[in-house]
Structure 1
Amino acid sequence: MDTFAAFSLDMRTLNFVMILFSIIYCIGLLLFSQTQKSIKGLRVFALSLLVMGSGPLLISMRGVLPDWGSIVLANSLIAVSFQMIFHSMCRFRGVDTKYAHYFSWVIPVVVGLNLYYTYEFNSINSRVLVSAFSIGIVSLGAAVVVLNGKNKDYPVAVWMMTATLTCYGIFMLFRGVHTLNGPEIVSFMEADIVQKLAFLSSIFLIVSLSFSMLWMINARQVEAIYALSYFDPLTNLRNRRALDRHTDSLEGTSEKLTKKQCVIMLDIDRFKQINDRFGHVSGDQVIRSVAQQIKRTSGASKSIYRYGGDEFIVVLENQNLDRALSVAESMRQRVLRYAGIDGIERDISCSFGVAESQADESWDELVARADEALYLAKQKGRNCVQSASLESQWSTAV
């Protein structure tokens, strides 16, 4: 204890700082939530910080307010704030809020025991014990929720939030054991270093949880911007911009392909007639249906791009022409068999052009040869696969 004695902390100062932090972070997060209304749990979390700060505020008014306000209500508000944090973590991380409801028994227990240990058997130690164990249990439960959340958030931020709640919960349980085995506290504001550290750790909790949450929200926004920039909203395939970015990595400084590539180009047969006869809404549904089938066929959606309109391009790295022809034929058969929408009685089919990269060939040259093969497939009667190589052709006419 001599080491702790040298480490002086003023309880009233810590109390004031905690109140100040809870108010500032609450206001800041509430204002931020106005621009992030789609983020579930953010507003509840912000309000929980205000409720958390209200508890110490009422505790600091001991002697001014009656016991029901400065003791019972104060400790009850602190318990409610952690229940709100638990609830907000469930919503924020995509977990069913029923798990937060499982811990709702904590609040009436805390209220009842604080009433008893205030009016029937006045004991500061008992009240601290109730508060410490209840907060510790709820904090550890919230840590489990954060760690096992369904939302795909930034892993480092998730671990930071989990570690914060876990460490805080463990410390609160230690605080409870320490209080149970320690001497009777005469005045809470004059309590030992462990009780003072409870305020310091609460300040750290507010800062760390707020920072982690903002970190995850920012990561979600970056991911959303990336999705808008590089993914086609209709098919959820990568778009032309993503393809351009990918092909930049395939070409060296000489603008020649550095690895063997096979390209499959395809488009929907007589798509203009579908649009003219059935409308653009049906046309979009056909594009989406075809995209789903070719994605399921290839087994590698990262290599499929929507090239524009009803055209798609598949990039197969380190594959030979025979393999690319086989993949294209499997796609053709699957589209013919499974692609289609209600209201369009005609079969949906696609034509395919396949090309394998040659030595000292650029990406644009490779795509141009695949496009020529696709044009040849159209001339052959559509619904077939054609190779850009004269030596090896795979054709399946209607």
Structure 2
Amino acid sequence: MSLLLLDMKTVISLLVIGNICTIILISAYSYQYNNRTVWTFVLGKLLQVIAFTMLLLRDILPFTLSVFLSNTSLLIGTMIECIALLMLLKCLTTTVKRTVFIVTLIGLFSFYSAILFYNFENVRIAVISITIFTLIIFPVYSFYQNRKTSILQYIMLILYSAIALSLMFRAYNALFISTDVTLFAENRYQTLAFLTRFIEMLVGSIGFILLAKEQTDIELTRMAMLDELTNIYNRRAFIQRANALIATELKRKKQLSFIIFDIDRFKGINDTYGHDIGDYILREISQLITNTLPKDSIFGRYGGDEFVILVPNCNRDNAKQLAEALRMAVLHHPFQYISTACTLSLGVATTEVITTISLDGLYKNADKALYHAKENGRNQVYAMSF
């Protein structure tokens, strides 16, 4: 007997058992996290279990009821699974969600119309296959857009693309090839179609959980590296990135400039307007500086209102011009909630000897320059080379 001639009840039973096991494992894994995206995926799988169970019970239940319930559950379950994937990929905009709902409603309407007016199994299969194909196109496109993010997403793109192609082949087979397409017919086309669903259930579920973990790891890494208030590098992350950049620039024998600044009389702002306004000022300034800096710069918050910047391949004059541009950007920014101008004092240190330099040396010299800027009256740039 050919490997592609399997008992269809056995294949569908495996789909039911596999989906139930998937639901149990994913639920156990996700219970402590209460992740809305994962629970959405579980709901989609649960509806698909109902759908395949109704298919198995077709000989027991009234035929029309079995067909109606199984295919309705299958379409809605697939829609919810696709929504969960889009949520995970952060691609579920209001427009996309509305479009997915509309596609599902059109599919259901077409299927019910086929039952009422043209109740042939090949037509019903074609309608369901084309609708599911259309739904799967949404996550396929999102995986395609994000394929460079990770190898896992690239594999998921290939998997769901293969599923989409198999669905179109099933629809074509149902409409144009004279093959028995009744549910329990034993032929290679039927077996291939349901084996594809089995592979999607198995690999797709594993891939989803791995993607969810990947996204969690990315978020944890981001939280560990970024300052919670200003969303720029925290001290630890800045030191790591800066040391790596210094090592690279030393090999290239390029100059480095280090800028350190703080907000003039920031304690007075906190005392006068409150710490909420002080936090607002820190966030606004961080965003202003980020938008002004060259892309290859490293910008971080050392603590309180003290910020540091490392600029590669930058001499003293260019660093001083950059620091002045930062000072002016903050000086002329219309801050809300405060009636006085907000100003910066900036110290700049640039390496002249490019064979030996350390982050600690850069910081100490920039800090000396900042001290001179403060002593000279604040709201200014002081630059030095060493």
Are 2:280 and 1:285 equivalent residues in the alignment? yes
- For 1:36 and 1:302, the matched residues in 2 are separated by 36
CA contact (8 A) 2:298 2:311 kept: yes
Are 2:375 and 1:376 equivalent residues in the alignment? no
- For 1:373 and 1:95, the matched residues in 2 are separated by 49
1:395 maps to what in 2?
Answer: none
**Percent identity between the two aligned chains:** 26
Match of 2:154 among 150, 159, 162: 159
- For 1:70 and 1:89, the matched residues in 2 are separated by 28
Change (3 A) 1:24 1:334: same
2:92 maps to what in 1?
Answer: 94
CA contact (8 A) 1:125 1:184 kept: no
CA contact (8 A) 1:295 1:301 kept: no
Alpha-carbon shift at residue 186 of structure 1 (Å): 8.2
* Structure of higher RCO (CA pairs closer than 8 Å, 6+ residues apart): 2
SS in 1 for 2:41: helix
Greater displacement, 279-288 / 304-313 = 279-288
List per-residue Cα deviations over 1:349-382 (Å, max 9, x = no partner). 1111111124233321221111111101111011
2:114 maps to what in 1?
Answer: 113
- For 1:317 and 1:234, the matched residues in 2 are separated by 26
CA contact (8 A) 2:152 2:211 kept: yes
Are 2:178 and 1:180 equivalent residues in the alignment? no
- For 2:77 and 2:107, the matched residues in 1 are separated by 12
- For 1:235 and 1:147, the matched residues in 2 are separated by 32
Change (3 A) 1:302 1:17: farther
Alpha-carbon shift at residue 159 of structure 1 (Å): 3.4
1:393 maps to what in 2?
Answer: none
Alpha-carbon shift at residue 116 of structure 1 (Å): 4.9
- For 2:182 and 2:333, the matched residues in 1 are separated by 76
Matches within 5 A, 1:29-40: 29-40=26-37
Change (3 A) 1:6 1:296: closer
2:140 maps to what in 1?
Answer: 143
Are 2:112 and 1:85 equivalent residues in the alignment? no
- For 1:20 and 1:208, the matched residues in 2 are separated by 15
CA contact (8 A) 2:243 2:359 kept: no
CA contact (8 A) 1:157 1:216 kept: yes
- For 1:233 and 1:211, the matched residues in 2 are separated by 32
List per-residue Cα deviations over 1:149-186 (Å, max 9, x = no partner). 8xx99443433333333221221221122233444638
Structure 2 residues without counterparts, runs of 5 or longer = none
Alpha-carbon shift at residue 225 of structure 1 (Å): 1.4
Alpha-carbon shift at residue 190 of structure 1 (Å): 3.1
SS in 2 for 1:179: helix
Equivalent position amino acid for 2:344 in 1 = C
Alpha-carbon shift at residue 115 of structure 1 (Å): 4.9
SS in 1 for 2:59: coil
CA contact (8 A) 2:259 2:347 kept: yes
Matches within 5 A, 1:180-199: 180-183=175-178, 185=180, 188-199=183-194
Match of 1:243 among 221, 238, 259: 238
2:351 maps to what in 1?
Answer: 357
- For 1:163 and 1:176, the matched residues in 2 are separated by 20
Alpha-carbon shift at residue 323 of structure 1 (Å): 0.5
List per-residue Cα deviations over 1:40-61 (Å, max 9, x = no partner). 4x32321221222222222222
Alpha-carbon shift at residue 83 of structure 1 (Å): 2.6
Match of 1:50 among 43, 46, 52: 46
Alpha-carbon shift at residue 310 of structure 1 (Å): 0.8
CA contact (8 A) 2:83 2:92 kept: no
- For 1:292 and 1:186, the matched residues in 2 are separated by 61
- For 2:154 and 2:115, the matched residues in 1 are separated by 34
1:396 maps to what in 2?
Answer: none
Alpha-carbon shift at residue 13 of structure 1 (Å): 1.9
Change (3 A) 1:353 1:195: same
Alpha-carbon shift at residue 84 of structure 1 (Å): 2.5
Alpha-carbon shift at residue 11 of structure 1 (Å): 1.7
- For 1:333 and 1:218, the matched residues in 2 are separated by 44
CA contact (8 A) 1:257 1:362 kept: no
List per-residue Cα deviations over 1:300-321 (Å, max 9, x = no partner). 3852111211111111111100
Matches within 5 A, 1:116-135: 116=117, 123-135=120-132
**Normalised TM-score (structure 1):** 0.85
- For 1:76 and 1:56, the matched residues in 2 are separated by 11
Greater displacement, 310-319 / 242-251 = 242-251
- For 2:67 and 2:80, the matched residues in 1 are separated by 20
SS in 1 for 2:382: strand
1:309 maps to what in 2?
Answer: 304
- For 1:136 and 1:276, the matched residues in 2 are separated by 61
SS in 1 for 2:340: coil
Equivalent position amino acid for 2:307 in 1 = F
- For 1:9 and 1:234, the matched residues in 2 are separated by 59
**Normalised TM-score (structure 2):** 0.87
Change (3 A) 1:58 1:329: same
List per-residue Cα deviations over 1:18-55 (Å, max 9, x = no partner). 11111121233344444444544x32321221222222
SS in 2 for 1:305: strand
- For 1:167 and 1:257, the matched residues in 2 are separated by 47
**How many correspondences in the alignment?**
378
2:24 maps to what in 1?
Answer: 27
Equivalent position amino acid for 1:231 in 2 = L
